[in-house]
Amino acid sequence: MNLQDQVILVTGGTSGIGAACTELFARNGAKVIAASIQEEAGRELANRLNAAGHRCEFQYCDTSREADVKATVEMAVAKFGRLDAVHANAGVLRTQKITDLTVEDFHILFNVNVLGPALICKYAVPVMERQGQGVICFTTSVAAEIGFPAHGVYGATKAAIVALMRSLVTDHSPHGVRFVAVSPGTIDTPMLAASCAGWDKPREAIYADVAQRIPVRRLGQPIDVANTVAFLLSDQAGFINGSVVYLEGGTRCLPPW
């Protein structure tokens, strides 16, 4: 993939998949804006990449807040003069059965996982249409299609992202903007680690058990996703539009018995 001098905004860009994307894009010549609510981690990541001769800016951004999203897109354009790509990656997870659902958790999940990407598009798409080109990649999840226990509302938010993407294609691709998505399975991230809290087995044992259930016999790594997103954002993927790329090691191929 060729990302040289591309201006790329990554939301949730300071941890897990987002951090891997920020680093990979920067090391491949992109000018990256890493946006998240993790201020300390974000400044540390940006400082490390800049010290190595790359270009990275940290921007505090709660993607569920419209003012933050607007300011982040405006900062990218003011700093670099354009916005070539966005990886709408920020997300949160709550694991609970529907009978244990709180309205507060419902709103948090939908505000971050659905409203956030919608707001990103609201402000990034007009910039890209004025340029005549741009691409937005969403992070969805195989939980949108597989009935993971205690993931009902989370899975619903990720399914909503796919529906949003496909409508955006019909509205805005004629004006030069592509929309794509990656759908990770079990990826070794801090979010996955946090989901292991409260189990009666140590995290390492849980991971080993899960790995044996995945056909490739390992968990995914953030770099697995980052490599795919980098390709999707590049001109080499210019005819890929409205598509979801699955990164789950073959989990979706397993029989139900």
Structure tokens at 163: 């529906």
Structure tokens at 45: 């990541």
What distances in angstroms separate CA 123 from CA 117, 150, 215, 217, 236, one per listed residue? 10, 33, 40, 41, 25
φ/ψ region of 118 (left if φ > 0, alpha if ψ in -120 to 50, else beta) reads alpha
* Cβ atoms of 39 and 144 closer than 8 Å: no
| Cβ partners under 8 Å of residue 99, min gap 6 | none
Indicate the SS3 state at residue 8: strand
Q: How far apart are CA 142 and CA 232, in angstroms?
A: 18
**Choice among 123, 154, 207, 246 that is catalytic:** 154
Indicate the SS3 state at residue 32: strand
| Cβ partners under 8 Å of residue 134, min gap 6 | 83, 84, 85, 86, 124, 125, 127, 128, 176, 177, 178
Q: How far apart are CA 60 and CA 63, in angstroms?
A: 9
| 154: annotated active-site residue | yes
Q: Where in the sequence numbering do the catalytic residues fall?
A: 154
